Amino acid sequence: MSKRTILVVGSLNTDLVAKVDRFPDGGETITGRNFSVHCGGKGANQAYAASALGGSVAMIGQVGEDGFGAAQIANLSSAGVATAGILRDPKKETGTAFIGVDSSGENRIIIVPGANGTLTPNQLQVECPLFQQASLLLLQLETPLNTVAKAIKLGRMHKLTIILDPAPAAPLPDEWLESIDYLTPNLSELNLLVGDSLVETASIESITASARKLCTRGARKIIGKLGSRGAVLVTPEATTYFPAPKVQAIDTTAAGDCFNAAFAIALDRGNTTHEAIRYAVAAASLSVTKAGAQSSMPSLEDLSNLE
Ligand code: ATP
Ligand code: RIB
């Protein structure tokens, strides 16, 4: 494996997806339109997408010793991801995500971590050679926070570019903000990180003001993911807005994962931050036009057809 590997440390989930016209209220039962099962999990989605876009990708994560876990590994392998770092916990089931997708493509997700929740910092230490071979590290928060902390430490030690998706939202220590290169929250994650309550229609100026609070705590580059509005890059010095193309959204599940993977691939190919964000916005807008998580990830060919 060359030194140009993109390493993903993160989760693998079986996504159990119900399509609904609208989400139920508390205590209400509604009838869904259809049900499907997809390979998902933020880590696995990022690994799959980066590989589909032509990257050399390895993943560290953990599944159970069940059929779902085997299916996850097989799906990633078939996409070209190096899966030797995906461990099996005989005592836990593979992670599961219960997902509702409404008629506008929006989703509501409940995850049960299973074997993602028992991935330990020590297991990362054992997989240290994968860090040595990598140039860039993709992280999310669906594995234990002390394991993510260890990944950041190993990433720094091996001088990797670190991109952290703070999802699902959790408070982050300042030490993390100082150690990573890019933080990629969506609006609700940004709100939780800084204690604000921005709404979907918040102005770019107010989003910038929120993101700058993270800069004062040590963050260098924050990429706010704004759904159909696109993305915004906030640094201590400047703000740049990247609008998304108008598309017919079928299912936005994993759009953020597609964004992070495409951004990583473009950066790793030597593009500037701005060029990489443009590429990520284009890739993610394609992903929302298809159903599912890994099943919605665009290929290199899909993206070159856009140019
Ligand atoms: P996820 O559903 O994976 O948690 P997220 O909430 O992290 O996603 P979003 O902002 O919803 O992130 O989506 C990531 C990116 O996908 C956006 O920055 C945008 O570029 C693209 N995107 C999302 N929704 C749409 C849409 N309806 N139309 C066009 N592009 C979209
Ligand atoms: O980001 C989308 C992912 O979040 C889904 O695939 C689901 O598994 C949850 O982890």
Provide the 10 A C-beta neighbour count for residue 292. Answer: 22
Nearest Cα residue to 30 out of 95, 103, 97: 103
pTM score = 0.96
Distance, in Å, from the CA atom of 112 to the CA atom of 116, rounded to the nearest integer, reads 9
Q: Could you tell me which residues come within 8 angstroms of residue 266 by beta carbon, excluding any fewer than 6 positions away?
A: 275, 276, 279, 280
Average pLDDT, the chain: 95
Ligand 2 centre from 43 Cα, in Å?
Answer: 8
φ, ψ for residue 183 (rounded to 5)? -115, 130
What six digits make up the tokens of 17?
A: 């997806």
294 lines ligand 2 (CB under 6 A): no
What six digits make up the tokens of 262?
A: 């495409």
Provide the 10 A C-beta neighbour count for residue 84. Answer: 14
In the three-class reduction of DSSP (H, G, I as helix; E, B as strand; rest coil), residue 284 is classed as helix
Strand (E) or helix (H) holding 129:
helix 128-132
| Cα Dmax for the chain | 53
**Residue of 15, 89, 251, 257 marked active site:** 257
CATH of 6-25+32-298, one of 3.10.110.10, 3.40.50.150, 3.40.1190.20, 3.40.50.300: 3.40.1190.20
Q: Where residue 105 falls among pLDDT bands split at 50, 70, 90?
A: confident
In this predicted structure, what is the pLDDT of residue 307? 64
40 lines ligand 2 (CB under 6 A): yes
257 lines ligand 2 (CB under 6 A): yes
Q: Could you tell me which residues come within 8 angstroms of residue 17 by beta carbon, excluding any fewer than 6 positions away?
A: 35, 36, 37, 38, 99, 100, 101, 253, 291, 292
pLDDT at 197 over 80: yes
pLDDT at 137 over 60: yes
Q: pLDDT (tens digit, 9 = 90+) per residue, 112-123? A: 999 999 999 999
Q: Where residue 104 falls among pLDDT bands split at 50, 70, 90?
A: confident
Q: pLDDT (tens digit, 9 = 90+) per residue, 46-59? A: 999 999 999 999 99
Distance, in Å, from the CA atom of 44 to the CA atom of 46, rounded to the nearest integer, reads 5
Domain ranges of the chain: 6-25+32-298
Q: What is the CA radius of gyration of the chain?
A: 18
189 lines ligand 2 (CB under 6 A): no
Ligand 2 centre from 17 Cα, in Å?
Answer: 11
Atom of ligand 2 nearest to the CA of 99: 7
Q: pLDDT (tens digit, 9 = 90+) per residue, 221-246? A: 999 999 999 999 999 999 999 999 99
Ligand 1 centre from 88 Cα, in Å?
Answer: 31
Query: Looking at residues 80-94, what average pLDDT do you find?
Result: 97
pLDDT at 2 over 60: no
Alpha carbon 86 to its chain centroid, in Å, reads 17
Ligand 1 centre from 277 Cα, in Å?
Answer: 13
Query: Looking at residues 182-203, what average pLDDT do you find?
Result: 97
Q: Are 140 and 165 in contact (CB under 8 A)?
A: yes
In this predicted structure, what is the pLDDT of residue 304? 84
- From atom 9 of ligand 2, which residue's Cα is the shortest distance away? 41
In this predicted structure, what is the pLDDT of residue 1? 44
Query: Looking at residues 203-217, what average pLDDT do you find?
Result: 98
Provide the 10 A C-beta neighbour count for residue 2. Answer: 8
Query: Looking at residues 158-172, what average pLDDT do you find?
Result: 97
Share of the chain above pLDDT 90, in %: 92
184 lines ligand 2 (CB under 6 A): no
Query: Looking at residues 89-100, what average pLDDT do you find?
Result: 97
Q: Where residue 3 falls among pLDDT bands split at 50, 70, 90?
A: low
181 is catalytic: no
Distance, in Å, from the CA atom of 180 to the CA atom of 28, rounded to the nearest integer, reads 42
Q: Is the pLDDT higher at 128 or at 264?
A: 264
Query: Looking at residues 257-278, what average pLDDT do you find?
Result: 97
Share of the chain above pLDDT 70, in %: 99
